Amino acid sequence: MNFLRSACLTLRQILAVVACFGLIVTGAAGSDELHAVTAEGHTELTLVRPSGSAVRVVLSQTKLGDSYPYKDALLWGGDVGELPRTVLISIQVKDGDEIIFVPLSAYGDLGDVKWVSLDRTAKGYVLHLHGGDTAASYDAALTFDRGYLVSRTVALREFREQRWEKTSYSFPKRSQ
């Protein structure tokens, strides 16, 4: 059993090896590609639609300091009594000329985000976030439809059927 534990690689380790061989492009590009997220600072993604319009996403992540007020919070990417090293502090989305509202509840509890992708859907796009380490690893998906955030799903990678949450959003629609 110890051999299996030592032989198994975490998703983060596998992605790091793959990135080293140039199989994953990091930085702004199209959809369906994983991009490394800057541990402290900004990470930008751009999705260009067939029509030529673009969706631009900027993620901002910062290190959690001693002054972080929620010491016993259970954040995604952390564990009971243990906070993640970093936390998302902002997700800014611009769809064409429109700034898309993304509330704090959609990202404020996501820690140690390592990888991200922006994928096209029939009516919008999905921002996939992958974070945490080992047993605290998780996958999150923010779904945007017709210019609005409509849902967020987060699941623990190892036990996705036992630990997950889904949030649905409803915002007043702009008149066309």
**Cβ neighbours, 10 Å, residue 111:** 22
SS (H, E, C) 46-96: EEECCCCCEEEEEEEEEECCCCCCCCCCCCECCECCECCCEEEEEEEEEEC
d(CA 5, CA 48): 41
Domain ranges of the chain: 26-168
> Residue 4 — very low, low, confident or very high, per pLDDT cuts 50/70/90?
very low
**Cβ neighbours, 10 Å, residue 3:** 7
Using DSSP, state whether 136 is helix, strand or coil: helix
> Residue 65 — very low, low, confident or very high, per pLDDT cuts 50/70/90?
confident
Greatest CA span in the chain, whole angstroms? 61
Using a pLDDT cut of 90, give the percent of the chain over it. 66
User: Is the CB of residue 54 less than 8 Å from the CB of residue 96?
Assistant: yes
d(CA 163, CA 171): 27
User: Is the CB of residue 91 less than 8 Å from the CB of residue 113?
Assistant: no
The predicted-structure confidence for 34-57, as pLDDT tens digits, reads as follows 999 999 999 999 999 988 999 999
Read off the tokens for 105: 């509840």
